[in-house]
Homo-oligomer: A and B are copies of this chain.
């Protein structure tokens, strides 16, 4: 084990075994180099001793330069400015006092939404198109180029490339093609097979993502790329229901626990496991400086709730909050490079009394702050009354808006109640107005919702908020499992993502109980990645099943190392296997500890294949 420490972590913890970083170059924008992780596999060994290679599997990678073994930066210096030239070359920005960038002209905001509506395909858009394809084209080619019959290969390859992963014919249908006889244990076509999914509510997944498709989705408001022009370190990623479902992880110190270096470590840890965005929810001291460290070291979009820092500026006194304090905080954060902000502008004064009879009242921190302010001052929410000014500020820097759901239910009993749905309707109104200012938008959603009420949430959000991406916290499918709320949230999360929710905010097992530690973050992120992936399979993302198929094939062939390496958490998979069969040769064994050699179904199943049927 390499015991070099990276802050509180050791280097081995941040490595994926059997993997290396690759980059795929853009075609429209050759300066685009999309990072991915490629997992290499062992050969399949047949009973007669012959072998066949297994194509490497490419997976989405959120770790940025930190995940590239050739990168040797450190936290003090911050990450390279990947997007600096792209931003500069658009010629629509100017340098502010203090060195940051801002829009040169308010009528041409430097936002991905503005470009998209103007028909401009930015490098960011091509980046995400390549990223969402998961390197499938070359993988499929590799699979089919190995096909032994010269006669059938061109037809198979053509068929594959025509379809590129969606609704690939099953082997039995392939067999009807000339040259496709019954094949060996590791059928090539199986790797590309994917169950066809019928999408709901008007979503659709293309067979292959193109930059033009990305542009179109952003222009329609169905997707956003949260990338502040002052966060050039950020690798573009897209949030929208016709793409891979994304996962957000929260970090941030609180008044009771605070350490800047630890927050950067948490960031690296969260993105290592696959957090697509990270929200810095710090409420303690040094909020600005903590955020600076995070931003300069983050290859993923950083979100915040500016109300928290605003309240800190008022020493925690809600009564002293005001629009000027909030506005200045928002500008400060936008200049710093925050990629998206949660603003609870849809929580109107008249909704608050409807929370009085709830089981759990208001459970959103931002929501409860602004609700209390409204009750004290007997005035309408200043975030609502100053919405246009908020949007102008955000458009100046391409900060995306995540319209908060301050009245999200905090108990099963409160799900889908008047207060929640009333706010959702206002979120829709604010979405339109933000779009008109060129701002990219998503809407935040619940919360605690029983399974049967989840579809209504998604349906109403799509309808009332004009198909803007939905970003939910869970939803948690029951209240009775504190200590397991990452799982109650994964159930609701998979369910709503399958119906089109674009991003899930993770919940850790410490939810409702305490602050997550390192292991909680790992368990939380991986849990939400698997929930998001389950939804991607169901909604028919064209490349989603590739990894499942590769892992299942490795499992069936007893390629234990490949099985571990292909999994979301290879360290844990290997560790669990080691617990009962620690010897290295058990990683080659054609059985495992669960059933032993005589009762191994997969071993028997392979033997059956070798019998004459």
Binding site for B on A (CB under 8 A): 171-172, 182-183, 187, 190, 193, 195, 197-198, 254-257, 283-284, 308, 311, 316, 318, 352-353, 355-357, 359-365, 367-369, 371-372, 375-376, 410-416, 448, 450-453, 477-484, 486-488, 490-492, 494-495, 498, 509-510, 512-515, 517, 526-527, 529-531, 533-535, 537-540, 545, 547-549, 551-553, 555-556, 563-564, 566-569, 572-573, 575-577, 579-581, 592-602, 604-609, 611-613
Contact = CB atoms under 8 A, between A and B. Distances in A.
Contact of A368 (B308, B361, B539, B605): B605
B515 A564 contact: no
A382 to B, nearest CB: 17
In order of increasing CB-CB distance, the 3 nearest A-B pairs are A361-B605, A411-B552, A255-B596
Contacts of A491: 490-491, 494, 530-531, 534
A555 B357 contact: no
A197 B606 contact: no
B556 A364 contact: no
B368 A604 contact: yes
Given A513-B576, A595-B254, A172 B481 contact: no
Contact of A568 (B448, B481, B548, B580): B481
Nearest to A495: B495
A413 B548 contact: yes
A375 B478 CA distance: 47
A556 B487 contact: no
Contacts of A568: 480-481, 483-484
A602 to B, nearest CB: 6
Contacts of A486: 487
A558 B340 CA distance: 33
A195 B452 contact: yes
A593 B368 contact: no
Contacts of A479: 547-549, 551-552, 555
A609 B478 contact: no
Nearest to A183: B357
A510 B595 CA distance: 13
A601 B552 contact: no
A599 B254 contact: yes
Given A526-B484, A605-B363, A195 B450 contact: yes
B356 A537 contact: no
Contacts of A451: 494-495, 498, 534-535, 537-538
Given A195-B415, A514-B580, A577-B514, A375 B567 contact: no
Nearest to A317: B598
A611 B596 CA distance: 66
Most chain B CB neighbours (cut-off 10 Å) among A361, A479, A549: A479
Contact of A413 (B183, B190, B498, B594): B190
A451 B541 CA distance: 13
Contacts of A371: 604-605, 608
A250 to B, nearest CB: 10
Given A283-B599, A411-B549, A537 B608 contact: no
A412 B546 CA distance: 10
Nearest to A551: B479
Contacts of A535: 451
Nearest to A581: B514
Contacts of A172: 357
Residue among A531, A540, A599 with max Cβ neighbours from chain B (10 Å): A599
Contacts of A482: 551, 563-564, 567, 569, 572-573, 576
A362 B453 CA distance: 37
A413 B606 CA distance: 17
A501 B551 CA distance: 28
Most chain-B CB neighbours within 10 Å: which of A255, A566, A600?
A255
Given A283-B599, A361-B606, 13 more contacts: A254-B599, A356-B613, A360-B605, A364-B601, A372-B607, A410-B556, A412-B552, A451-B495, A478-B548, A480-B566, A486-B487, A491-B530, A495-B495
A11 B533 CA distance: 41
A596 B487 contact: no
B480 A594 contact: no
Contacts of A318: 604
Contact of A514 (B171, B411, B594): B594
Given A352-B613, A514-B577, A548 B599 contact: no
A606 B593 CA distance: 53
Nearest to A527: B487
Given A490-B490, A580-B515, A604 B551 contact: no
Contact of A483 (B255, B410, B569, B597): B569
